[in-house]
Amino acid sequence: MPLRLCVGLLVNAVRWLLILGWIGGPLSLAQAQAVNDTAVKAVFLLRFGSFVDWPPSAFERPDSSLVICIAGDTALAETVRRAARGERAGARTITTRWIESAPPRTGCHILFAGGAEGQDVAESLHDVSGSAVLTVTDARNGNARGIIHFVISDRRVRFHINRSEAEQNGLRIDSRLLGIALSVEDSSMRGSR
């Protein structure tokens, strides 16, 4: 038993070393996958921007930064902040923002609703509903679902997509992203992959 504990600690230490090493260098998903789910989710959050079209009104200027807001989950927020260095979503640079309390109605393009202080996930989602925000939730934080909902499937980070809600928010999701989702909830037809 103590041996297993030791090994577990060692593995964890190696993982974190790897994370730090990876964050310093270029982004490698395979490396991230090998390290832990948080790193994978961070990379996913950074990459969603390339597969989603926001309405032009969501940005002040055509080359304004894409703002990723992370509510609650500090570990994720930190990982994303480090990983976002030098990352782009198309022509836009990526800015990350950690939100402690209720998220603002504007300013965020991607909102990871991790349950901020004094506000649960559902409330966060409700606050931004109808505005051009790609909401992301995690099965780890409850059953409330945003447009993208992270789950662990076959020991890998995967996600569901709610396309109808995205459309309601004025977002267009690339069909290739829909193609790799575990399921796509649609207003016209309810399909599951």
Partner 1 sequence: MTRPFRWSRSWDVSRYATALAVTTAAILLAVGVIGAWMSERDFRSQKMQQAQAHARVLAASVSAALAFDETPEAEQAISALRANPEIGAVGIYGPEGVPFILRGNETRDPPLMLSEGTAPHYDSGSAIATAPVMQAGQQLGRVYVELSAGSGPAQWMRYVGVALLLAMAAVLVGAIAIGQRSLAAANKELARRAATLTQANAQLTDEMAARKKAERALAQAQKMEAIGQLTGGLAHDFNNILAAISGGVRLIERTGDPDLRAQVKASLADAIERGARLTRQLLAFARGQNLEARVTDPCERIVAMVELLRRSLGEDVGVDTSFPGLR
The piece of 2-10, 20-28, 109-117, 132-140 that touches partner 1 (CB under 8 A) is 20-28
Q: Is 183 in the site for partner 1 (CB under 8 A)?
A: no
CB atoms within 10 A of CB 88: 14
Q: Is 153 in the site for partner 1 (CB under 8 A)?
A: no
Q: Is 18 in the site for partner 1 (CB under 8 A)?
A: no
Candidates 29, 74, 100, 140; binder of partner 1 (CB under 8 A) is: 29
Candidates 19, 22, 23, 27; binder of partner 1 (CB under 8 A) is: 27
CB 79 within 8 A of CB 16: no
Q: Is 24 in the site for partner 1 (CB under 8 A)?
A: no
Site for partner 1 in 156-175 (CB under 8 A): 156, 174
Helices 2-24 and 74-83, interaxial angle, to 10°?
A: 40
Strand order in the sheet with 66-71: 88-89, 92-99, 66-71, 110-113, 134-138, 148-153, 156-162, 183-185, 191-192
Candidates 15, 18, 47, 59; binder of partner 1 (CB under 8 A) is: 47
Residue 98 Cβ vs partner 1, minimum distance, rounded to whole Å: 23
Candidates 90, 143, 155, 189; binder of partner 1 (CB under 8 A) is: 90
Nearest alpha-carbon partner for 161 in 150, 172, 151, 147:
147
Q: Is 28 in the site for partner 1 (CB under 8 A)?
A: yes
Q: Is 20 in the site for partner 1 (CB under 8 A)?
A: no
Q: Which residues of 126-161 are buried (b: 16+ CB within 10 A; e: fewer)?
A: ebbeeebbbbbbbeebeebbbbbbbbeeeeebbbbb
Distance CA 83, CA 29 (A): 11
Q: Which residues bind partner 1 (CB under 8 A)?
A: 26-30, 33, 40, 44, 47, 49-51, 88-91, 156, 174, 176-177, 179-180
